[in-house]
Chains A and B, each alone.
Chain A
Amino acid sequence: MKKTPLYDLHLALGGKIIDFGGWALPVEYEGIIKEHEAVRSAAGLFDVSHMGEIIVQGPNAQNYLQKMLTNDLSPMQNFQVYYSFLCYPNGGVVDDLIVYRYNPEYYLLVVNASNKDKDYEWLKQHEEGQITITDASEQYAQFAIQGPQAQTILQTLCDTDLNEINFFRFLPELLVAGIPVLISRTGYTGEDGFEIYLDPSKAPALWQVLLEKGKNHGLLPIGLGARDTLRFEAALPLYGHEISADITPYEAGLGFFVKTIKEDFVGKEALINQKEIGVPRKLVAFEMIDRGIPRNGYEVQADGLRIGYVTTGGFAPFLKKNIGLALIESIHAQEEGILEIVVRKKKLKAKIIPKPFYQKRYKRT
């Protein structure tokens, strides 16, 4: 298994290490529920160094990315961050990612660890004009600090006023505890917070000083278990679950990040077509009425017939409810609609509810 620069510190903190797509990472330290609550009420620190980083640079960088990504980069400013999809010609998703624009000739793409090699190959196959595409994943360690106390904690170690970094913006070079880092106001929890990129050799030192400084503010280290429950409660998609090669952004309800008005891009024709004729399946949020926990892959029925499956489900630690996301035939995707979730051969009733389960608390200015 691959190890992040923080592996030894995870062990020292009592992290339960699991194999996460080839990476040795902690699923939890003190417990998923406690960690989840810490992020909602105070702050949490995540090691997300497994994420992939791909740099696209050169005079044709902007044109090229406009062709590859579904979002429209033309209004994007320097030091802004966009969420976007890389799609296949049929509209299925290669990956979801965030794009950091330094300038029109230099972009940093942050991609899912398990898709990184596939993404890099896909981007290289479509290389066009004067650009250089580099897999820079080994050059970056990445942390996320998330929660209502995240800014206060980070600010104690940093002279730059963090209010300068608005939602989905970044600063490419600032010092935190004397260590040069990139910081963006982004995250994957539904809370305000930051993602921090730095030289892997400096990562253990910064991790330790952040935990130390954050202790009095309730900061805890957070494992992958709570990372998943936090993003799920905020109804943020996870590749391989809510989106995949077989699930388009429109089916997942993420059409906002597909701009069909822009000129040609990979997947445009299929996606326009789907937008016009309507999606065959829709992702819905539901809450259990009967007692039971829905899990990924469980069948969803209506009137005894299969209409789809659960993409993510579970007990939501903050809301204290059994909830799920399911991809079902569009005709059944009516709010208040009743679904049957097949849990160990029993059909349990659930009700379709609005997304997200947890109202995001981003700081936008």
Chain B
Amino acid sequence: MNIIKDIKYTVSHEWIRIEGNTARIGITDFAQNQMGTLVFVELPEVDDEVGKGSPLAVVESVKAASDVYAPLSGTITEINEALADNPELINEEPYESWLVTLELSNPSEVAELIDSAEYEKLCQQGE
């Protein structure tokens, strides 16, 4: 299982790369491996506003649909349209295949995210 050092994580297996006042969001290697090959991704629209903890996207494998939750509050500024035709990019390169970019409306929430060491511990307990 691959965990990248200098990005943030959530207990629900999203990763977050903070750049200034924006955040790129994806799902972790652990998450994609648990779900298996992804066959469908449903993304929000640009300019949608999301609140921390609310449903952000849906990723579907052959077996099931899983919600991805917004790890931070903000407004969607970009969506990764390449995933519409190639959802399996998430399986191949989970940390490159971001879902959305978010402009943060409450940057103080970043302090509540967990770091890679803590996330790694969590995954090991879950296995």
Contact = CB atoms under 8 A, between A and B. Distances in A.
Contact of B60 (A28, A229, A293, A317): A293
Interface residues of B, number: 13
Interface string A27-69: 1100111000000000000000000000000000000000000
B123 to A, nearest CB: 16
A30 to B, nearest CB: 10
Nearest to A225: B63
Contacts of B14: none
Given A28-B36, A32-B36, A315 B62 contact: yes
A91 interface: no
B40 A32 contact: no
A31 B60 CA distance: 14
Nearest to A314: B62
A295 B36 contact: no
Contacts of B42: 292, 344
B40 A293 contact: yes
A33 B65 CA distance: 16
B1 to A, nearest CB: 14
Contacts of B62: 32-33, 225, 229, 314-315, 317
B4 interface: no
B65 A31 contact: no
Interface in B29-54: 36-37, 39-40, 42
A292 B63 contact: no
Contacts of A32: 36-37, 61-63
Contacts of B60: 293, 315
Interface in A133-149: none
A225 B37 CA distance: 12
A33 B37 contact: yes
B39 A315 contact: yes
A257 to B, nearest CB: 29
Contacts of A71: none
A31 B63 contact: no
Interface string A281-309: 00000000001110100000000000000
Given A225-B63, A293-B65, A295-B65, A31 B58 contact: no
B36 A31 contact: yes
A229 B36 CA distance: 14
A317 B38 CA distance: 11
Contacts of A80: none
Contacts of B36: 28, 31-33, 225
A345 to B, nearest CB: 11
A292 B84 CA distance: 11
A56 to B, nearest CB: 36
Contacts of A33: 36-37, 62
Contacts of B37: 31-33
A91 B37 CA distance: 40
Interface string A306-326: 000000001101000010000
A294 B39 CA distance: 12
Contacts of B84: 291
A344 B63 contact: no
A252 to B, nearest CB: 23
Nearest to B39: A315
B75 to A, nearest CB: 21
Interface in B58-73: 58, 60-65
Nearest to B34: A16
Nearest to A33: B37
Contacts of B64: 295
A27 B34 CA distance: 12
A291 B64 CA distance: 16
B58 A344 contact: yes
Contacts of A291: 40, 84
26 contacts: A28-B36, A31-B37, A32-B36, A32-B61, A32-B62, A33-B36, A33-B37, A225-B36, A229-B62, A291-B40, A291-B84, A292-B40, A292-B42, A293-B39, A293-B40, A293-B60, A293-B65, A295-B64, A295-B65, A314-B62, A315-B39, A315-B40, A315-B60, A322-B40, A344-B42, A344-B58
Given A31-B36, A292-B42, A315-B39, 6 more contacts: A33-B37, A33-B62, A293-B39, A293-B65, A322-B40, A344-B42
Interface of B: 36-37, 39-40, 42, 58, 60-65, 84
Please name the 5 residue pairs, one residue from A and one from B, whose CB atoms are nearest each other, closest first.
A315-B39, A32-B62, A33-B37, A293-B40, A293-B60
